[in-house]
Amino acid sequence: MKKHFLIFSILFIIYAFHTSLLKAQNCIDLGVGIGVGNDEIALIDFFKNGGAWEPIGDNGHPWYKVYSLDTFKVVNGKYYHWDSDWSGTVNNEAWGSGWADSYISYWDMMVDQGKIRPDGYPVSFPVTVYKYKPKSKDSNQGIDIQKPVTITSFSRRIYFPNNLPHDGWVLKWEGTGTIRFQGIDVTSASVPYTNNGNSWTPDGSFAGDDYQFVSTGSGRVVCGLYWMVHGWVLNIVSSSASDPIRNIRFTYPGLEDEYDAGQKFNPLFLERMRQFKCLRYMGYLSSNGIEGRTLVSDDNPYHDTEMLKWLRWDERTPENSYQLNNGNGGNYEYIIELSNLTGTDPWVNIPYCADEAYADSLVN
């Protein structure tokens, strides 16, 4: 009897292990950029895959230093430490660094002072923001109009793998203003443009030209794409307050019409994903890795409180955001659409720091 029970137990373990392997083979986790591991071909619009906008001030940096606790202010829920370039959770004393090494980012200032639209584009450009008053002069630390900062550059770096098609990329946008794009070769353009010269990779090879486009209402450019080891850089040089530059797209060759018809995902990516029964979105939703959610005290920013700042539903990435993940997890509408198009079950991981209202809103 014991022998039979032992044999049965071994067979059951083998069966359970084999079943778990089959289940594992039928599921894949999609990374923060939804096409990670699939040559970043997931989205037709490659502009969604890039990093965050980086505003540069007239001091040549994306931030200004804070030299004392009297001038310290938590802006947009964050504070920063320059030496380590970490945000939100750095214990300055542990690093042996003085308060002079900390700073406030111009992006957070633009958000805090109403200079960024809900879709992530500037309301206009160039733009001016203001440093904050010290606590000794204003307990609320409002803006100090005597200390303006001119944001002189507003750029975004985009990385592409080097095995993508070269010709047939389409750059489109709405708005009146000027944008600059490095690392391309223009075939045709609906707007006036200038060529600012060649771009080169560190090994000395040609990497496309540096173009500047001027639009009144919208723009469309057909171009070739060169691989650049440090990524492509797109700058908003100027943007009208009455008709700001917005909705920039960079569509995969041959798929412009599909994208304009409402299709988000590259057919090549959909074909690959249909082989699975389940798609897990833990990485895509940044479920374990949302940064800057640790509360810090305005009175003593050197130490974390070890308490979490809860993630609210209104902080999620909106569907019309310029990037797929604004740092608070990817967009849920994309998950629903991808699941329907591929016939897969979505494995959704709610971010660890989401509050109860976030979870309720997601279900509803």
Flag whether pLDDT at 301 surpasses 70: no
User: Which pLDDT band, with edges at 50, 70 and 90, does 75 fall under?
Assistant: confident
C-alpha angle 127/132/133, rounded to 5°? 140
Distance CA 155, CA 179 (A): 10
Flag whether pLDDT at 23 surpasses 50: no
Flag whether pLDDT at 144 surpasses 80: yes
**Exposure string over 191-222, b if 16+ CB within 10 A, otherwise e:** bebeeeeebeeeeeeebbbbbbbebeeebbbb
Could you identify the residue written with the tokens 């939100």?
88
Residue-wise DSSP of 148-214: EEEEEEEEEEE---TTS-SS-EEEEEEEEEEEEEEEEEEEEESS-EEEEEEEE-TTS-EEEEEEEEE
Could you identify the residue written with the tokens 């003593």?
300
Residue 288's pLDDT is what? 75
pLDDT digits (tens, 9 = 90+) for 237-290: 999 999 999 999 999 999 999 999 999 999 988 988 898 899 998 888 877 766
Q: Among the listed ranges 58-67, 226-235, 256-265, 326-335, which one has the minimum average pLDDT value?
A: 226-235
User: Both tokens of residue 86?
Assistant: 């970490």
Helix (H) or strand (E) holding 102: strand 102-105
**Exposure string over 275-289, b if 16+ CB within 10 A, otherwise e:** ebeebbbbbbbbbee
Mean pLDDT of 212-219: 95
Residue 272's pLDDT is what? 86
- The fraction of the chain above a pLDDT of 90, given in percent, is 40
Distance CA 317, CA 324 (A): 7
Could you identify the residue written with the tokens 């991981």?
349
Flag whether pLDDT at 349 surpasses 50: yes
pLDDT digits (tens, 9 = 90+) for 303-336: 444 445 678 888 888 888 888 877 788 889 999 9
Distance CA 131, CA 251 (A): 38
Distance CA 212, CA 194 (A): 5
With 0-12 CB in 10 A as exposed, 13-18 as middle and 19+ as buried, what is 34?
buried
- Can you say whether residue 40 is alpha, beta or left, with left for phi > 0 and alpha for psi between -120 and 50 degrees? left
